[in-house]
Amino acid sequence: MMRRWFLALVAVMLGALAVPAAATEPATEQAGRFVFNGWDGPPLPVFYQLPDRVTADTRVVFVMHGVNRDADRYRDEWAMLARHFGFIAVVPQFASSDFPGSLGYNTGYFTEADGAPRPRSRWSFAAIEPLFDDVRQRFGTQVERYSIYGHSAGAQFVHRYVLFMPEARIEQAIAANAGWYTMPDAEIAFPYGLGATPIGAEGLRAALGKPLTVLLGTADTDRADPDLRKTPEADAQGPHRYARGQAFFARGEAAAAESGVPFAWKLERVAGIAHSNAGMAEAAAALIAGR
């Protein structure tokens, strides 16, 4: 109950701390862009925001953009949060030309359109771990783990990243307002479940023990949103994003109970926020900072 009250009052608390609400422009002297080539996939433009001072203990937060692939906007909306809480915000851009549609980006690109498997080193998920090593070397932090946040299509990337990459060095994963989910259920065919994927029982058990937070805006209930997927399989998860997120968490909780393994996921609600990355980012940044 106290956690819910905390998240409901995040905006108020941040205002008291004089944190600007989702900055529209980054601090240019500490913001920038580079191209990452250190993996088997295509070159990735990477937008970043540094805090005022980077030390060996400075944390790294990956921010996954939405369906519009607008990594620069996501960086800008996280800029003042990164500076205030003292972490490096890193936003890789998965261009539609190299990562087409939901297949290429937010469902991981582990198969071609015809279902043929792709090499694991070329999944969209596979970019994050080597990019983390690049960021550590590039900016001088020596932390051993990172946080990863995504909103909307980015939240789809994040929750599937937890499922498909259980060995990843995640400190915290936060999936905010995903439109639909891959349920932790091998009886449901992918992309709505884990059927016909490389994820076996052992991998699922590991994923259920990962620190994933399902972060939901209580006002993200617009059934008429044109970007909301309305297939029968998606609608089986609930009528809108808020309901679907709760259904995903509940299925994970049930899967952990069925497997007899510890369940590390959390469900958090942000009162009054609809489908807004800017609104969810403030709550996510405070969770990452442990505030």
pLDDT attached to residue 91: 98
Please tell me the chain's helix, strand, coil percentages from 3-state DSSP, rounded to the nearest 5: 35, 20, 45
Task: Round to whole Å and give the CA distance between 137 and 132.
Answer: 9
Q: How many CB atoms lie within 10 A of CB 257?
A: 11
pLDDT in the model for residue 14: 41
pLDDT at 29: 67
Distance CA(239)–CA(230), nearest Å, equals 8
The pLDDT of residue 146 is 98
The whole-model pTM stands at: 0.90
What pLDDT is recorded for position 41?
98
User: Domains of the chain by range and CATH?
Assistant: 2-289 (3.40.50.1820)
Structure tokens at 68: 């519009």
DSSP symbols for 131-189: HHHHHHHHH----S-EEEEEETHHHHHHHHHHHH-TTS-EEEEEEES-SS---S-TTSB
Q: What is the pLDDT of residue 11?
A: 41
Nearest Cα residue to 168 out of 214, 225, 108, 219: 108
Q: Are strands 170-176 and 266-270 parallel, antiparallel or unpaired?
A: unpaired
Going from the first residue of the chain to its last (291 residues), give the mean pLDDT of each consecutive group of 10, the final group possibly shorter: 45 40 49 98 98 97 97 97 97 98 97 95 98 98 98 98 96 98 97 95 96 98 96 98 98 98 98 96 96 71
Distance, CA of 29 to CA of 258 (rounded, Å) = 51
Identity (one letter) of the amino acid at 182? T
